[in-house]
Amino acid sequence: MINKDKISVVFVCLGNICRSPTAHGVFRELVERSGLAHRIEIDSAGTAAYHVGNSPDHRSAAAALQRGYDLSDLRARQAIVADFGHYDYILAMDVQNLENLQSICPTNYAGYLGLFLELADLEEREVPDPYYGGSSGFDHVLDLVEAASEALLKRITQELS
């Protein structure tokens, strides 16, 4: 494997206000603690445009803050074709969003486009959408995202020279 100087990652859900900003904030904290923040670029986006410019959902932000993750600087944006020219990892939260991304993915994209949870050894393949549910859904998102973030960091660390 050819090792790289820098690796970039974008997490993608539907609205970019619940799941992907949670992954963005959790993975950012893990990367900062590992001392690799200068070598790993992190972003998040949504396949839909409903919430562009908005802060994370207050329920996601509160659940994340309870575990020490500050999402307050994050703002929603929509995923665009140019993301394929920039990011080494494009990680979808569920199959629907992965299919949306696959439908706009250039045929020569050489990075990794897949489900975030498939990088980890978990029972679940998808991070369930917590938007219309109760507060336990937001904690479940955090549990899954924390586990998968550990696996992602392990994988990326091996790719960095």
Residues with catalytic annotation? Answer: 13, 19, 129
- Least distance between ligand 4NP and beta carbon 57 (Å): 7
Site string for ligand 4NP, 92-131 (x = CB under 6 A): -------------------------------------x-x
| Nearer CB in complex with ligand 4NP: 7/100 | 100
| Window contacting ligand 4NP (CB under 6 A); options: 8-16, 64-72, 84-92, 110-118 | 8-16
Secondary structure E strands in the chain: 7-13, 40-46, 89-92, 112-115
- Cα(124)–Cα(120) distance, rounded to whole angstroms? 9
Give me the least distance between CB of 6 and ligand 4NP, in Å please: 27
Residue 50 sits in the site that holds ligand 4NP (CB under 6 A): yes
Closer Cβ to ligand 4NP, 8 or 20, answer by number: 20
Let me know if 80 is exposed, middle or buried by CB neighbors in 10 A (0-12, 13-18, 19+): exposed
Round to whole Å and give the CA distance between 93 and 23. 9
Range in contact with ligand 4NP (rule: CB under 6 A) among 11-19, 64-72, 84-92, 111-119: 11-19
Inter-residue contact 49 to 16 (CB < 8 Å):
no
- Burial code (b: 16+ CB inside 10 Å, e: under 16) for 7-41 equals bbbbbbbbbbbbbbbbbbbbbbbbbeeeebeebbe
Q: Per CB under 6 A, which of residues 13..32 are in contact with ligand 4NP?
A: 13-19
Residues that bind ligand 4NP (CB under 6 A): 13-19, 46, 50, 129, 131
